Amino acid sequence: MPPDAKTRTKRANAAAAETKTINLALQGGGAHGAFAWGVLDRLLEDERIAFEGLSATSAGAMNAVVMAYGMTQGGREGAKKALMGFWRRVAHAGMISPLQPTWFERAQHNHSLENSPAFVMFDLVTRLYSPYQFNPLNYNPLRKVLEESVDFDMLREKSALKLFLSATNVRTGKVKIFGNDELSADAVLASACLPFMFQAVTINGEAYWDGGYMGNPAIFPLIYKCDSRDIVVVHINPIERMETPTTARDIMNRINEISFNSSLMREMRAIAFVTKMIDDGTIDDGKMKRMLIHAIEGQDFMRDLGVSSKMNADWEFLTHLRDVGRERAEHWLDDNFNALNKSTSVDLGAMYL
């Protein structure tokens, strides 16, 4: 029997005796969200793991609703199929976009769009004009992709998973969490609304921008509204970079990474503080919920990707990201599965504080 088959058989046998329930926290990051697709694809294959809640932002919100819809319709295989179908539609929509890698970048397997004349022009236009000026009809190709991928009416009525999608209220500056009863294409697009690219999404009279500004993703819904104590954060945005950015584009990208990670880091500091108080006996474990934090990330890989690659919907690139995500999830399962339901598997101080 091949090694992979032996591993699957071993895990299937273990699943009958031990199933561990986790919550997932999915970051946003444009096309880089295909990395999280790969992570989810691999986790769905492991029947030792059950899923309760998904808190997500931007591209993470898209992965979350597609996974929940597929799982509601057809279980784990349904979720895997739905995610594949969604990212294929993203790639098909990208084929008619002027934002394409040049022939040289394709030949070199360079996933950036730095040399694309259309990207250079788009980058300039978004710096000079607002989306209300350069896109007055408010066209967003992702709306059609979402509506073809998810039946939101069905998902509101019954969902196999608890969903918490983060968006930023433009008026109040506070995070808005869209729960299962509020799911819609508008809610997902609000979570993914970068204000320099798209007009604010209005829902019930309130305007929303990308959730990354206030929750990328928000952790507190998983603490207060889910029973499982285990939260697996799927990181898209690098927390740390070794070199100081020097170009205007790289500086803006680093500013966005820092701001989009800031809310997550604040929540992790609070979790670390409460955990220490429990460990020190300052507060009773029964009065405060001890959370167990885990992380699947590819910072070493993500740091090497240019900011323009977040807009590269080329199928070769998306599947490459998926394969890297699957690989990282595989390693994480091998190294950390036993920690689930028992202990935190990341050094919160080293990673977030």
Contact call for residues 64 and 192 (beta carbons, < 8 A) = no
Contact call for residues 178 and 20 (beta carbons, < 8 A) = no
8-state DSSP, 184: -
Contact call for residues 87 and 37 (beta carbons, < 8 A) = yes
Is 31 buried (19+), middle (13-18) or exposed (0-12) by CB count in 10 A?
Answer: buried
Pairing state between β 201-203 and 206-210? antiparallel
For residue 225, pLDDT over 80 is answered with yes
Three-state DSSP state, 50: strand
DSSP string covering 54-77: EEE-THHHHHHHHHHHHHHHHHHH
CB contact set of 121 (below 8 Å; sequence gap of 6+): none
For residue 11, pLDDT over 60 is answered with no
Is 158 buried (19+), middle (13-18) or exposed (0-12) by CB count in 10 A?
Answer: exposed
| Partners of 20 in the β-ladder | 49
Structure confidence by residue, pLDDT tens digits, 48-63:
999 999 999 999 999 9
Structure confidence by residue, pLDDT tens digits, 175-206:
999 999 999 999 999 999 999 999 999 999 99
Residue 15's pLDDT is what? 47
Structure confidence by residue, pLDDT tens digits, 108-141:
666 778 778 888 888 888 888 999 999 999 999 9
